[in-house]
Amino acid sequence: MKLYIYEHCPFCVKARMIFGLKNIPIELKVLANDDEATPIGMVGKKMAPILQKDDGGYMPESMDIVHFVDTHYASPLVTGPVNPLIGKWLEENHAAAYPLVLPRNVNGRFEEFATPAARSYFINKKEAASGGFEELMSRTPGLVKKVSQQLRDLEPLIQQSNACNGELSDDDFHLFARLRSLTIVAGLEWPARVAGYRDNMANQTQVNLLTSVAQ
């Protein structure tokens, strides 16, 4: 199987996680961010992640990929219940996390931005939708303070470092993908329990954190 991804993309992280957790070999193909033709040719839309299955067919949508792989390769692992409080935390965190992470992505040395054209494509598209990156960067101090408080609020919700609700569930895909994105932000305060979960999940899923390119 092949998984088409962008390295910065949290949805792609969710899809990558299930392969790491089940120790299933997967060929990762990083799409250039300005390559519209390849994903449109595969699924009719410019998006990632896209799984190319063993039968040659293509599957988009991160959580569909997670559930497909989980139920078709060895015994299912993602069997635990979700906690609505994790969903609520993710929703509330999004407004502060997104403007912190978005402008930093272009300086993350990701393969999808290897060419100036791919980098400009991303900047133009995202600035049109979310505002200028310079203005977003200027909001850093307040947003870092806010997200650091949210990470403190998250701490009591994490039951185990290998599954936030004690048994692996969809929540782990959404939560680890968000925490991994946040590791591109320098200066956040990570409570010990949240950092332990982040680091353990990175090991278990074989998905790299972004600490080395944090800004």
Q: Rule CB under 6 A: is residue 30 a binding residue for ligand GSH?
A: no
Tokens representing residue 10 in the block = 């949290």
Q: Rule CB under 6 A: is residue 2 a binding residue for ligand GSH?
A: no
Q: How far is the CB of 36 from ligand GSH (least distance, A)?
A: 8
User: Alpha-carbon distance 63 to 185, whole Å?
Assistant: 25
Tokens representing residue 127 in the block = 């600035």
Across 54-71, b (16+ Cβ under 10 Å) vs e yields eeeeebbbbeebbbbbbe
DSSP 25-69: --EEEEPPTT--HHHHHHHSSS-S-EEE-TTS-EEE-HHHHHHHH
Distances (CA, A) of 37 to 9, 147, 198, 210: 19, 37, 35, 28
Q: Rule CB under 6 A: is residue 209 a binding residue for ligand GSH?
A: no
Q: Rule CB under 6 A: is residue 48 a binding residue for ligand GSH?
A: yes
Q: Rule CB under 6 A: is residue 46 a binding residue for ligand GSH?
A: yes
Identity of the residue, 9 or 147, whose beta carbon is nearer to ligand GSH in the bound complex: 9
Number of residues that bind ligand GSH (CB under 6 A): 9
Distances (CA, A) of 57 to 6, 43, 70, 133: 20, 10, 17, 37
Q: What is the per-residue binding string for ligand GSH in 54-93, x denoting contact by CB under 6 A?
A: -------xx-------------------------------
Stretch that binds ligand GSH, among 6-14, 73-81, 142-150, 163-171 (CB under 6 A): 6-14
Q: How far is the CB of 35 from ligand GSH (least distance, A)?
A: 10
- The alpha helices in 48-169, defined as continuous H runs, are 62-72, 84-105, 116-130, 133-138, 140-154
Q: Rule CB under 6 A: is residue 11 a binding residue for ligand GSH?
A: yes
The correct pick among 18, 30, 47, 97 for binding ligand GSH (CB under 6 A) is 47
Q: How far is the CB of 156 from ligand GSH (least distance, A)?
A: 28
Q: How far is the CB of 119 from ligand GSH (least distance, A)?
A: 13
Collapsing DSSP states into helix, strand and coil, what is residue 186?
coil
H or E element: which one contains 200? helix 192-205
Q: Rule CB under 6 A: is residue 6 a binding residue for ligand GSH?
A: yes
Q: Which residues of the shown chain bind ligand GSH in the complex (CB under 6 A)? A: 6, 9, 11, 46-49, 61-62
